[in-house]
Structure 1
Amino acid sequence: MDVSITFSFFLIFTGAAVFASLALATRQPLLIAYIALGAFIGPYGLSLVTDTKLLADIGHIGIIFLLFLLGLDMQPQALWSTLRKSTVVALASSVLFLAMGFVVAKLSGFSDLDALIVGTAMMFSSTIIGIKLLPTTVLHHRHIGELMIGMLLLQDLLAILVLVVLFSAAGEGDGMGSALALSMLGLPLLAGSALVIVRFVLLPLITRFDRFHEYIFLLALGWCLGMAEAAKALGLSEEIGAFIAGITIATSPISQYIAVNLKPLRDFFLILFFFSVGARFDLTMLQLVWLPAVVLATLVLTVKPAAYRWLLKGVSEKRTLAWDLGFRLGQASEFSLLIAYVATSAALISDKASLLIQATTIITLVASSYIVVFNYPTPIAISDRLRRD
């Protein structure tokens, strides 16, 4: 049944309000309610909303705004000081998680290529879970935020390289070497250009017209989305462009005003993103991969926190912080889902392998949300003792 986008939005947000009420009444994380709603009224449920690709594209904007707002809360000097530690931890952990996913997939009877892509998808942690559940306004957690975003950005770069390789292997990306070179050169070029524009264009405009709040709001939107598109044109991801857009104006006095006013817009798009995650998963096919999915998800949920804890201790971080950060990053990523979708559309992996990645990712997103919400300070904690904004 074809329905208008307006009616789809009505179903999604009315349903989200109902499911969120049930989640809060039963002390469940809200993210779970949005994923469950997608599975319930999506194409593999009641089929009330079927254009999940459009909704996924719209929901992707929520991730872009999330990274932009995070950049606004970060100071460039502090981020740079943690980059060395972040690089060591991110690269070492990525190798370990790739090997873990590869071994589980091979032992489950998948081909070498299927297993390699499954392992690659397990390398990344969720930016949304990690950042959305982190209390950004609590000073005690500032250092955790700096380490987390450093590792997530490096994982983002790795994910872009993986996607470039997938497109090239499918014959859709000619000149693989030049594409990789452009991606690597694009980051410093984008950051340098952003700093120049902010210093000589944006800050003078903000200083002159800061009393016009609507203008500041529009300027922030244009800057965020413009940098996202610039990053995409340079072979990077929109998320990287949005984060650079945020961090380059983080020192401006108006940055916190922008952050506060964009949060409702970010939440609007993130609801659509999590809805699309649930809607795109075919529950009827789960029986084909339930055993390897449960095994792999269990390993992700246990090995990732332990590995991050051990690696962070190795770079002189405190034990308490290492466990905290390890559990906050102890899941698969939205990039894992993207890799599954791209590899399937390019006919590089079997549908069964794609389903394994999707099932493992959703299980870990759900379980990790519970672990963090019930044990660590978050903005959406059920307990008043743990609720921090």
Structure 2
Amino acid sequence: MNPEIFTELSIILLITLVITGIIKILRQPAIIGYIISGIFAGPFVFNIISSHDTLYAFSQIGVALLLFLVGLNLNPKVIKDVGKISLVAGLGQVIFTTTIGFFIIRYFGFDNVTSLYMAIALAFSSTIIIMKLLSDKHDLETLYGKISIGFLIVQDFIAIFILLVISTLNSTGEVLSFTIGTILKGLGSLSILFLLTIYILPSLTNKIAKSQEYLLLFSITWCFIIASAFNYLNFSIEAGALLAGITLSMSPYHFEISSRLRPLRDFFLILFFIILGSEMVFSNVIQNLPAIIILSLFVLIGNPLIVMIIMGTLGYTKRNGFLCGLTVAQISEFSLILITLGISVGHLDKEVLSVVTKIGLITFAGSTYLIIYSNKIYSKISKYLQIFERKGSKVDEHKYHENDDHDIILFGYNRIGLDIMESLRKIKKKFLIIDYDPEIINRLSKEGYDCRYGDANDSELLNELNFSKAKMIISTIPLVETNLLIINKIKETNKKTIISVVAHEIEDAELLYEQGATYVIMPHFLGGQHFSTMIERNKLKMNKFLEEKIKHLEHLNKRKRINSRPLHHHR
């Protein structure tokens, strides 16, 4: 490597390290730090990027690897696993955001093609940011977390389709004519990839996977060869990288490939965002400021409202609609890649990329704080969100009478709730199930269980429930704020009631005990205690553990049948 390039890259990475460190202290996504670092390294501040072509080539490798890994994790089988709500919400949000966004952008004087590109860019949400924030909040297993992940998967499939469409554009930005030759060329390429995926790759990867280093080398080579082949056929490198990943997504080694390639992808992708920041144009910032502000507000407020309307129409609570809505309150890495591709095919100029990047910075930062403090925000504005909760829906058919007496009230029919419900049936106690998933409530009602659709955070619901005769209240909801609300309400009406709640952290359990919980269930610790009991009971006898295995598999299959909802896919 040229020593000057090496020195230049070292300085750029040092700037990025410092700025991203500050950004992390502010609890913001690292992508903001990368883009700001590019602004500092670019001509607007220090102007230290002289080897632009080399760094740009590195950044394009990052984009190709990103799309390769996206394809690698988009197993074609998962489309049936996202569920009706994720499919409808994902498609609906993209369609409505694109349509409304298009007219807003046209109002600011952008032409039709530019408006369409920008509107589509505003419709996608950041998978990386949302996954990180939900994981930090331990919300990946909640209903809204599963739904959000589901429509992110739907968005990924839409993005793939759009990228493939863009790959039919030539360097002048004109759409290639769909002659017989063009159609045959595309179908032929896909057919060859399909045949390779079915008949060649499985046996080939089985042999290559004996060496992890060789598997890594093969994966990178496969990505580059397929991407180059598609580029040669006048399709885009990005589309080729995506399809290369999809062809390996059925491989049993795709997790191993993904984990080994991720650090490499991250490094080159950092350079992509740095280059993106360095190319931002500030000469027309005052002129474009109204558009940037309005479009940022549209993403931060408009996108959540669209999702809330869709989910309310489908019968979900205002809380779930609100929390899901916040997960689409930012644009995506795909948005920036889409605009970059639009520039490469001659449809857009670099000023558009600058505008969209500024919108990205605002929405990345704003949505992060919205999601971090979502529960506090909801508690403040929940009374104004009633319009987003449809009354008279199918879930409201399960009427609950205030005078109904139940020995036990169970909040949350999830993994723990299912086991608890089975035990309650065995002891023949009358119990009521409260859950905020309308599909679960409909299923339980059909099976003859006393149940009610509602959110434990809803004070109106807690006021309507008859706690005075209840001997036990069980909450499987792992949110401290929710459980404290339940505990305080029960203490007001019946101090003799046994109160059992769930917590994941020791500090949370201690707080719940202090506030009046009778017993705090900690699933992780209970799992360890159960296995310890198995060791003491079975010693080291293989046949005993195999018997436990058979019982466990039977239990898992039973749960799978009972809880066969299509919202359990994780990327």
Give the superposed CA RMSD. Answer: 4.2
Shift of 1:173: 3.6
Post-superposition Cα deviations, 1:315-365, rounded to whole Å, max 9, x if no partner, equal 688876665554333333455546656767888667766654443344334
Unaligned stretches of 5+ residues in structure 1:
377-383
**Contact 1:164/1:179 (<8 A) preserved:** no
Alignment of 1:147 with 2:183, yes or no, is no
Which residue number in structure 1 is paired with residue 46 of structure 2? 46
**Contact 1:89/1:311 (<8 A) preserved:** yes
With over 3 angstroms needed to count, the CA separation of the structure-2 counterparts of 1:342 and 1:133, relative to structure 1, is closer
Alignment of 1:121 with 2:125, yes or no, is no
With over 3 angstroms needed to count, the CA separation of the structure-2 counterparts of 1:4 and 1:260, relative to structure 1, is same
Shift of 1:225: 2.5
Alignment of 1:15 with 2:15, yes or no, is yes
**Contact 2:125/2:152 (<8 A) preserved:** no
Shift of 1:106: 4.1
Q: Which is richer in strand? A: 2
Shift of 1:209: 3.8
Which one is further off, 340-349 or 27-36? 340-349
Q: Secondary structure at the match of 1:123?
A: helix
Q: Secondary structure at the match of 1:193?
A: helix
**Partners of 1:308 and 1:350 in 2: CA distance:** 31
**Contact 2:121/2:339 (<8 A) preserved:** no
Which residue number in structure 2 is paired with residue 61 of structure 1? 61
With over 3 angstroms needed to count, the CA separation of the structure-2 counterparts of 1:65 and 1:315, relative to structure 1, is farther
Which one is further off, 340-349 or 199-208? 340-349
Shift of 1:288: 1.8
Which residue number in structure 2 is paired with residue 212 of structure 1? 211
**Contact 1:224/1:245 (<8 A) preserved:** yes
**Contact 2:331/2:363 (<8 A) preserved:** yes
**Partners of 2:87 and 2:55 in 1: CA distance:** 34
**Partners of 2:44 and 2:295 in 1: CA distance:** 24
With over 3 angstroms needed to count, the CA separation of the structure-2 counterparts of 1:375 and 1:260, relative to structure 1, is farther
**Partners of 1:52 and 1:277 in 2: CA distance:** 11
Which one is further off, 351-360 or 217-226? 351-360
Q: Which structure is larger by alpha-carbon Rg, 1 or 2? A: 2
Report the AA paired with residue 115 of structure 2. V
Question: Aligned ranges for residues 167-206 of structure 1 at < 5 Å?
Answer: 173=174, 175-178=176-179, 182=183, 186=186, 192-206=191-205
With over 3 angstroms needed to count, the CA separation of the structure-2 counterparts of 1:311 and 1:330, relative to structure 1, is same
**Contact 1:286/1:359 (<8 A) preserved:** no
Q: Secondary structure at the match of 1:268?
A: helix
Post-superposition Cα deviations, 1:124-178, rounded to whole Å, max 9, x if no partner, equal 358783235425999736664453233223134235546756x58xx55474444
Q: Which is richer in helix? A: 1
**Partners of 1:323 and 1:131 in 2: CA distance:** 20
**Partners of 2:60 and 2:81 in 1: CA distance:** 30
Report the AA paired with residue 151 of structure 2. L
Q: Secondary structure at the match of 2:153?
A: helix
**Contact 1:41/1:49 (<8 A) preserved:** yes
Post-superposition Cα deviations, 1:182-238, rounded to whole Å, max 9, x if no partner, equal 49x84x765553342234333223322433221111111122233333444556554
**Contact 1:94/1:124 (<8 A) preserved:** no
With over 3 angstroms needed to count, the CA separation of the structure-2 counterparts of 1:320 and 1:55, relative to structure 1, is farther
Which residue number in structure 2 is paired with residue 306 of structure 1? 305
Which residue number in structure 2 is paired with residue 279 of structure 1? 278
Which one is further off, 120-129 or 56-65? 120-129
Unaligned stretches of 5+ residues in structure 2:
376-503, 506-569
**Contact 1:327/1:368 (<8 A) preserved:** yes
**Contact 1:35/1:275 (<8 A) preserved:** yes
Question: Aligned ranges for residues 1-389 of structure 1 at < 5 Å?
Answer: 4-52=4-52, 54-82=54-82, 92-108=92-108, 110=109, 113=111, 116-124=113-121, 129-131=126-128, 133-134=130-131, 140=141, 144-161=148-165, 173=174, 175-178=176-179, 182=183, 186=186, 192-233=191-232, 237-311=236-310, 326-334=325-333, 336-337=335-336, 355-372=354-371
Shift of 1:44: 1.8
Which residue number in structure 1 is paired with residue 457 of structure 2? none
**Partners of 1:156 and 1:302 in 2: CA distance:** 26
Report the AA paired with residue 14 of structure 2. T
With over 3 angstroms needed to count, the CA separation of the structure-2 counterparts of 1:125 and 1:285, relative to structure 1, is closer
**Partners of 1:320 and 1:233 in 2: CA distance:** 50
Which residue number in structure 1 is paired with residue 501 of structure 2? none
Which one is further off, 35-44 or 147-156? 147-156
Which one is further off, 141-150 or 317-326? 317-326
Shift of 1:72: 3.8
**Partners of 2:167 and 2:239 in 1: CA distance:** 15
Post-superposition Cα deviations, 1:284-319, rounded to whole Å, max 9, x if no partner, equal 431221122111111122112222343456568887
**Contact 1:148/1:325 (<8 A) preserved:** no
With over 3 angstroms needed to count, the CA separation of the structure-2 counterparts of 1:161 and 1:177, relative to structure 1, is same
**Partners of 1:202 and 1:253 in 2: CA distance:** 11
With over 3 angstroms needed to count, the CA separation of the structure-2 counterparts of 1:106 and 1:240, relative to structure 1, is closer
Give the paired residue count. 371
**Partners of 1:320 and 1:230 in 2: CA distance:** 48
Q: Secondary structure at the match of 2:117?
A: helix
* TM-score normalised by the chain length of structure 1: 0.75
Report the AA paired with residue 48 of structure 2. L
Report the AA paired with residue 36 of structure 2. A
**Partners of 2:246 and 2:94 in 1: CA distance:** 25
**Contact 1:216/1:258 (<8 A) preserved:** yes
